[in-house]
Amino acid sequence: MKTIRDPIHGQIRLEETILKIIDTPQFQRLRRIKQLGFANLVYPGANHTRFEHSLGVMHIASKLTDNLEIVVAALLHDIGHPPFSHSSERIVKKYLRYEHEDVKRIIDGELKDVLKEYGFSLNKISKHIRFNPIISGEIDTDRMDYLVRDSYYTGVAYGVFDVERLIDKTYFDGKRLIIESGGLKAAESLLISRYMMYPTVYYHHVCRIARKMYEKALEFLINEGFDAKNLLHMDDFDVVSLMRNSNCAKEMIELIDSRKLFKRAIYVGRDRVDLKEITRINEERIEEEIAGEVGIEAKYVIVDVQPIEEVKEFNALVDVDGELVKLEEVSPLIKALKLAEMENWRLGVYTKREYVEKVGKIASKLLNLDKIPKQKTLDEIS
């Protein structure tokens, strides 16, 4: 038994099986994958990695179950993340039809041998990561850790909630993760934290711009002949080094390195667009059309239709006097948050500073944004 000192959870105890898994090269790779991608361009302290987050999720899972297989799955839930975490996700999904939960495609070598040595089934580990409510549920150990951890390292107080109370007032009945009525306020606080953290950190416009520029650089690499399969075994340093030595991706990664990022030519909320229509557009085609009309290369235009996130937490179960009720049904606050959630959505068009005005005018016309609202939102103004 060894102990790790964690800034979020304090003492994390590691038994022999867990230590063997952690010491494999495949797990150690997570030390070199940033948890929040390019968020350190906004919040300089956001240099934490998938490694410590995985330890935190494992620690919380161990408080909710004695099943070692589930605890191991919690530890390995992010083992499949490519470089810069979610920043590479769209590209690997596009070219490999791969999502980071597909751990059977990534677990190999020494890690696979250790799991086999201790009698763990890769199929069962994979199923736990995808479907076990402790790891992938409405209010799960993943969310319990990343909100407080990301808040701590960014210095943004919005992600703070009483995680210890929530853990203490949550139980696993073998099939579902259930919140006791005494944990209702802690659960509400988690949802408020999530609601605040998305526009402030995860979807901050600078984070989105850097992420989309990085995606373009990855596409350039792949079009140059780079095999996207390699991303599954690379870390942040590997891919940045590759880009710096690439003919096509070099300019984009150098702009990110020097923080000379694209600027917002368009940045609007759902009140300015037909949401059903805008979420169906081909971003690359629109980028080419905008660039063609402006008279610049398409690589200098980025159209960013933010995904509409499913908020599973609203369906979390609360034990109210022996009756299981959905969180949104027992909490008026959560009902209000559900209505407010979509207000965080944004459509962005980004380009180099010198092209902002021209790109903005053309993009506004092509995307039917000419109808300006009477009052801009505070986010658009800032």
pLDDT above 90 coverage of the chain, percent: 83
The residue count for the chain: 382
Encoded tokens for 228: 């996207």
pLDDT at 371: 59
Residue range 181-188: mean pLDDT, rounded: 94
Cα–Cα distance, 22 to 27 (Å, whole number) = 6
The dihedral region occupied by 321, where left means phi > 0, alpha psi between -120 and 50, and beta the remainder, is: left
End-to-end CA distance of the chain: 51
Share of the chain above pLDDT 70, in %: 97
Q: Taking residues 214-221, what's their average pLDDT?
A: 97
**Is the pLDDT assigned to residue 358 strictly greater than 70?**
yes
- Mean pLDDT over residues 326-351, rounded? 90
Q: Give yes or no on whether 1-155 and 262-308+345-382 have one common fold.
A: no
Q: What is the pLDDT of residue 379?
A: 55
Q: Starting at the earlier edge strand, list the strands of the sheet with 323-326.
A: 170-172, 177-180, 317-320, 323-326
User: Hey, where are the domains in the chain?
Assistant: 1-155, 157-203+312-341, 262-308+345-382
Amino acid at 309: E
Residue 325's CB is within 10 A of a number of other CB atoms, namely: 15
Decide if 210 contacts 82 (C-beta within 8 A): no
Residue owning tokens 């606050």: 333
Lowest average pLDDT, out of 3-17, 109-123, 325-339, goes to 325-339
Separation of CA 153 from chain center: 15
Reported CATH class of domain 262-308+345-382: alpha beta
CA-based radius of gyration for the chain: 22
Confidence of residue 373 (pLDDT cuts 50, 70, 90): low
382, pLDDT greater than 90: no
Kindly indicate the confidence band of residue 159, based on its pLDDT and cuts at 50, 70 and 90. confident
Mean pLDDT over each residue of the chain, to the nearest integer: 93
- Tens-digit pLDDT profile for residues 69-99: 999 999 999 999 999 999 999 999 999 998 8
Return the structure tokens found at 161.
Answer: 């909630």
- What is the structure's pLDDT at 374? 43
HSE value, Cβ hemisphere, 13 Å, CA-based, for 275: 10
Q: Write the CATH number of the domain with boundaries 1-155.
A: 1.10.3210.10
Cβ atoms of residues 297 and 283 within 8 Å: no
> Does 269 have pLDDT greater than 60?
yes
Can you give the pLDDT at residue 377?
Answer: 55
Whether pLDDT at 108 is above 70: yes
Which band of pLDDT confidence, cut at 50, 70 and 90, is reported for residue 100? Answer: confident
